[in-house]
Structure 1
Amino acid sequence: MSIFFRLIISLLFLILAGCASTPPPPLPHTNLQSKDLSALYNKWVGTPYRFGGQTRSGIDCSAFVQVTVMSLYQLNLPRTTELQSEQGVTIPEEQAAFGDLIFFKTGWNQRHVGFYLGDKKFLHASSSKGVMISRTDNPYWASVFWQFRRLTTM
């Protein structure tokens, strides 16, 4: 199973039950079929980065997360990374799971977000290469890591 297919499968489990002291387990979501998941990945991979962009002609990280969550779950997330970082529940790094959101503080007042894939990889809209997969143990990303969050029903 490709990592991209696994990402989409994992995103199906983002809707979780309420807050708890330990992260709640994912709830199954069965509204999508595997062909829909492959199509979603194929639609976005390689899309160029554009600050403020929200379409296939260019998208930024928070719009990529917002559009993907809306496509999969019909859930509205805030438009900005800062507001997205307040959604769901905080997850300790050692409990982060495939499909959780991963956040970075990339500057004094700048934030970045993507989908954690497990195995120290995440999917995001990179400002230099567009929608792609990067490693969390890359020296840059490791130095600006902020938090993991798991979305819950909103």
Structure 2
Amino acid sequence: MKNLLLPCLAAAALTLSFCFEQAPDASVSTSAPAPAAAEASLLTGLLPSASTPPATDEPAAVTASRDSLAYGYYNQTLGVHLAHTENKSLLQTITDWLGTPYSYGASSRRGTDCSGFVTKVFKSVYGINLKRSSRSMFGTVKRVAKTKMKTGDLVFFSHGRGNIYHVGIYLKDGKFAHAACSGGVMVSSLHEAYYHRNFYAAGRVAGTQAPATIEGVAIDAETLAAAASARPE
């Protein structure tokens, strides 16, 4: 009996040893990230996020590289030539809204009209609550000449005699973002015949233009320009 038990134990040991050698190494298969996840992680690190503040200890070269990448993306997506000084949060928010369908009286990503789009963008980017209609918005802005428009200014359109019916957000190079009845949120040109013919005025909302600074003291752009022109040669 003893002689029979020993061969049986030896056979069992060999069988168990074979099973353990053939079992997959779970630590290898679960610790390495999938290629798609790794790529997403890389892009997340490069592109800025409106909801995530930049790291304060990030090297200047890395920050500059991220900014350059972001502005390059907005250049291509919005079809404008940016100076890399524009409000990135504004550009990103407008980009996120592109393609939203038109829906009269609505103001969500499922559908929006022109004033709904503008109010949502200004609330998100600047924390400013605008009037809900394009006509009432116009009554709260500071008029600016068409040749003096800056990124973030509002552009208004009228069928004549001040009957304002449409509003958009000026970008650069004569381009503006708006919610059009025919195509939802898009970028159009003020040089297009329809918008050129119906353009009424441009206006600037208080608190949307970052002031210039001299030795840490804030000073608005108009005062800075006046001081420069008054300086003796």
Provide the TM-score with structure 2 as the length reference.
Answer: 0.50
Residues 133/93 of structure 1: CA separation in 2 closer, same or farther (3 Å cut): same
> How far has the Cα of 1:149 moved from its partner?
0.3
Contact 1:106 1:112 in 2 (8 A): no
> How far has the Cα of 1:110 moved from its partner?
5.0
Q: Aligned pair 1:47/2:93, yes or no?
A: no
Q: Measure, in 2, the Cα distance between the counterparts of 1:37 and 1:60.
A: 18
> How far has the Cα of 1:106 moved from its partner?
4.0
> How far has the Cα of 1:120 moved from its partner?
1.2
Q: Which structure 1 segments of 5+ residues have no match? A: 13-33
Q: Measure, in 2, the Cα distance between the counterparts of 1:54 and 1:141.
A: 23
Match of 1:137 in 2: 191
Match of 1:127 in 2: 181
Q: Measure, in 1, the Cα distance between the counterparts of 2:114 and 2:102.
A: 8
Flag the structure with more relative contact order, 1 or 2, with Cα contacts below 8 A and sequence separation at least 6: 1
**Would you tell me which structure has more strand in proportion to its own residues?**
1
Q: Which structure 2 segments of 5+ residues have no match? A: 1-71, 209-233
Q: Measure, in 1, the Cα distance between the counterparts of 2:147 and 2:182.
A: 28
Match of 2:147 in 1: 94
Aligned residues: 130
Match of 2:42 in 1: none
Q: Aligned pair 1:82/2:149, yes or no?
A: no
Q: Measure, in 2, the Cα distance between the counterparts of 1:139 and 1:39.
A: 28
Q: Measure, in 2, the Cα distance between the counterparts of 1:39 and 1:89.
A: 25
Q: Aligned pair 1:67/2:120, yes or no?
A: yes
Provide the TM-score with structure 1 as the length reference.
Answer: 0.74
**Would you tell me which structure has more helix in proportion to its own residues?**
2
Residues 61/89 of structure 1: CA separation in 2 closer, same or farther (3 Å cut): same
Q: Measure, in 2, the Cα distance between the counterparts of 1:138 and 1:152.
A: 28
Percent of aligned positions that are identical: 34
Match of 1:149 in 2: 203
Match of 1:111 in 2: 165
Quote the RMSD (CA, aligned, Å). Answer: 2.5
Match of 2:5 in 1: none
Residues 50/110 of structure 1: CA separation in 2 closer, same or farther (3 Å cut): farther
Q: Deviations over 1:68-89 (max 9, x none)?
A: 0000111110101111111220
Q: Measure, in 2, the Cα distance between the counterparts of 1:38 and 1:118.
A: 11
